[in-house]
Structure 1
Amino acid sequence: MSTIAFAIPGDIDLPTGGYAYDRRLLAEWRAMDVPAEHVPLPGSFPFPTEADLHETGRALLQRPYDDTLLIDGLAYGAFPEGIAAGLAGRVVALVHHPLALETGLAPEMAQRLHERETAALRYVRAVVTTSPATKRLLISDFGVPEARIAVALPGVDPAPRATGSAEGRPLHLLAVGSVVPRKGYRVLVEALAGLRDRDWRLTIVGATDRSPETMRDLVAAIDSADLGGRIELAGAIPDAALAEAYARTDLFVMPSLFEGYGMVLTEALARGLPIVCTTGGAAAETAPDAAALKVAPGDAAALAKALASLIDAPALRRSMADAAWAAAAALPRWRETATIVAGICLPDFGRKGG
């Protein structure tokens, strides 16, 4: 059996959903005795320098020819066509979400990334993506044949049900995700500015150093709305501290403009939390209707209305929390995810049933 050479750009320990997915695949494969190896790539992707492209080509071409090159889309989508063609038939691309759909890109850059990723994807043996919505997008907008695409939904770990805030305390809202334009936190602050008459507190958990301009804008928006005492920017925190944050939460909110899946939504479901989220990308399908109120991405007024309807209605929050807890039982586990991806990368593994 050949080896999965899992090529991942940058720091695999970064606290993002994409890197968390990659880390869990590697961890599950170790436990399953699946032959797999992490191949580090430069951190400059998706905007690699010529030197980094040369280093990447060397790292991949030196792998044994019978290895399967599983390449994270943050790197593969930015490969020049010449490099992709040179690896034709050897690559399984892992596409969390297309690079051109990252919020904040100049139109020319978005177009360039779209063209480059479209070209690179012509040469893959297969594509693994994390949601049916992204699969449809790859077919319609990137020309990837449906037969080449497999969906491996992110897994979720069992978790204790959230207990919420203590009686008599403000309602605790939680949002999780790095402070980058795509996460839509500026819209969330605008929505909450109109709800200052309600008794709530918001914690935003996520790296604050990924986009300094976005962080400055978010802080300015919070200050301008005079919400500094009610919104906490907690930054990236350890897993244990994040679990504690989920435990004391009453309502989970995700204002993202686009998500390739939305792993934080299933993490919230696993804790039995009612959700307010957008319909950006795959998020509309990730959260079940019975457990979530959904609004169009970027619509602060609609987001405020949805938040108010749950803040003001404890009975509705409880019924949606029950629906979330029930839905959690049907969520995939990480072992299932890892088995699907291993079967795509190593056909012999798939035929043996893992």
Structure 2
Amino acid sequence: MKKRFTFAYSGNLELKTGGYGYDREVIKGLRDLGWHIDLLALGDGFPSPSAETLEEAEKRLSALEDDALVMIDGLAFGVMNEWAKRDAQRLRIIALVHHPLALETGLNEEQQDLLRNSERAALAATRHVVVTSPMTAGELAKNFDVPPHKITVAVPGTMKPPVQRQQQNDIPQILSVGSLTKRKGYDILIAALEKVSDLPWRAMIIGNPTLDPPVTDALAEQIRMGKLSDRVILAGESDNLAPAYAQADIFALASRYEGYGMVFAEALSHGLPIVACKAGAVPDVVPEDSGFLVPVDDVDAIAGALRTLLSDPRERKRRATAAARAGALLPAWADTSEIISNALKEFA
């Protein structure tokens, strides 16, 4: 068996996002398992590329030799349905779906329908589909006509911290990690923080501020208007999140949807109690005893959960212990890579 395939992706593979982080770790893990991987960049702007970018991406994929094994990241593949109809059948395509494109926050009904139909048609041309959560597997089977036997679930791995924190900060430190986009719900989190401003705390938000500049600007203004500038830090990206997790007491993120939610798994592995929303796959990642899961966009519920953790150190410690227990059971990246490797072997 020749352990070789092409990994096709859009945008910048080095961006500090959960999806690209998953791609990087899996590529590394598969190479460790003996796979030779040819990287194929498809261009920027997906899932809304220019006509020129889409045409060039199609040309690059069409240039692959017949019967080539290629894994295509769903951020691009989901809108390449016309190419898939014309040319994909001569290739052995594995789609990697982090979450369906139609479920991105901020789309109107027409945009959702367009993306759903496009991705459904593209996925029909694949030999197999790899997804990052059981929730996404169910979504593809139910609403995208992908047969369950055609889907492999490979949940993200989690890096285990060398030691667990034992000491709580005198002033509780709240950590939030994720790109500054509408889907991450930072507007809800900041509004909730304003409601608990009578309590002592400090908060740090770590994430890419360049993906949606209007959202970043609006968040900065919201912090200023809420008189939280001395307590909430928009820290930008970080190449090493471990110190931030190690120094935090609470992890909070009000995502409106997550295909998995790697940052929640990382928070669990560091033994942090979590405040989050019942959104997408988050309830599959965060056990009930490890924090509080509240309805999406419910500022009062987020504020209430934060108030409980901030004002009751014993409750915070109890939830932290449960989080560490759950985090210890999470798979490593080597496990994720092994699952994908076994799926690839079926088609190599």
Question: In the alignment, which residue of structure 2 is the partner of 1:57?
Answer: 58
105, 108, 111: which one aligns with 1:109: 111
The count of corresponding residues between Structure 1 and Structure 2 is 346
> Larger deviation: 339-348 or 119-128?
339-348
3-state DSSP class of the match of 1:160? coil
Judge conservation of contact 1:2–1:67 (CA < 8 Å) in 2. no
Taking the aligned partners of 1:320 and 1:201, their CA distance within structure 2 comes to 19
Judge conservation of contact 1:276–1:292 (CA < 8 Å) in 2. yes
Taking the aligned partners of 1:117 and 1:167, their CA distance within structure 2 comes to 47
Question: What's the CA shift for 1:348?
Answer: 6.9
Asked if residue 118 in structure 1 is aligned to residue 117 in structure 2, the reply is no
In structure 2, give the amino acid aligned to 1:13.
Answer: E
Taking the aligned partners of 2:163 and 2:296, their CA distance within structure 1 comes to 28
The 5 A counterparts of 1:200-279 are: 200-239=201-240, 242-279=241-278
In structure 2, give the amino acid aligned to 1:187.
Answer: I
- Give the TM-score normalised by structure 1: 0.94
3-state DSSP class of the match of 2:113? helix
Question: In the alignment, which residue of structure 1 is the partner of 2:31?
Answer: 30
CA, structure 1 residues 314+85, in 2 after alignment: closer, same or farther (shift >3 Å)?
farther
3-state DSSP class of the match of 2:180? coil
CA, structure 1 residues 262+25, in 2 after alignment: closer, same or farther (shift >3 Å)?
same
Question: What's the CA shift for 1:293?
Answer: 1.0
Taking the aligned partners of 1:216 and 1:251, their CA distance within structure 2 comes to 25
What is the CA deviation profile of residues 148-170 of structure 1, one whole-angstrom value per residue up to 9, with x for unaligned ones?
111000001111345377653x2
CA, structure 1 residues 345+77, in 2 after alignment: closer, same or farther (shift >3 Å)?
same
Question: In the alignment, which residue of structure 2 is the partner of 1:282?
Answer: 281
> Larger deviation: 35-44 or 194-203?
35-44
91, 102, 105: which one aligns with 1:100: 102
> Larger deviation: 109-118 or 251-260?
109-118
What is the CA deviation profile of residues 179-226 of structure 1, one whole-angstrom value per residue up to 9, with x for unaligned ones?
000000000011111101100111000011110111111112111211
CA, structure 1 residues 162+218, in 2 after alignment: closer, same or farther (shift >3 Å)?
farther
> Larger deviation: 298-307 or 62-71?
62-71
Judge conservation of contact 1:276–1:306 (CA < 8 Å) in 2. yes
3-state DSSP class of the match of 2:233? strand
3-state DSSP class of the match of 1:64? coil
Instruction: State the Cα RMSD in Å.
Output: 1.6
Question: In the alignment, which residue of structure 2 is the partner of 1:294?
Answer: 293
Judge conservation of contact 1:156–1:332 (CA < 8 Å) in 2. yes
User: Structure 1 vs Structure 2: percent identity of aligned residues?
Assistant: 38
3-state DSSP class of the match of 1:87? helix
Taking the aligned partners of 2:85 and 2:15, their CA distance within structure 1 comes to 26
The 5 A counterparts of 1:1-354 are: 1-88=2-89, 90-163=92-165, 167-168=169-170, 170-239=171-240, 242-347=241-346
Taking the aligned partners of 1:82 and 1:303, their CA distance within structure 2 comes to 44
3-state DSSP class of the match of 2:176? strand
CA, structure 1 residues 160+320, in 2 after alignment: closer, same or farther (shift >3 Å)?
farther
CA, structure 1 residues 167+287, in 2 after alignment: closer, same or farther (shift >3 Å)?
closer
- Give the TM-score normalised by structure 2: 0.95
Which consecutive unaligned segments of at least 5 residues does structure 1 have?
Answer: 350-354
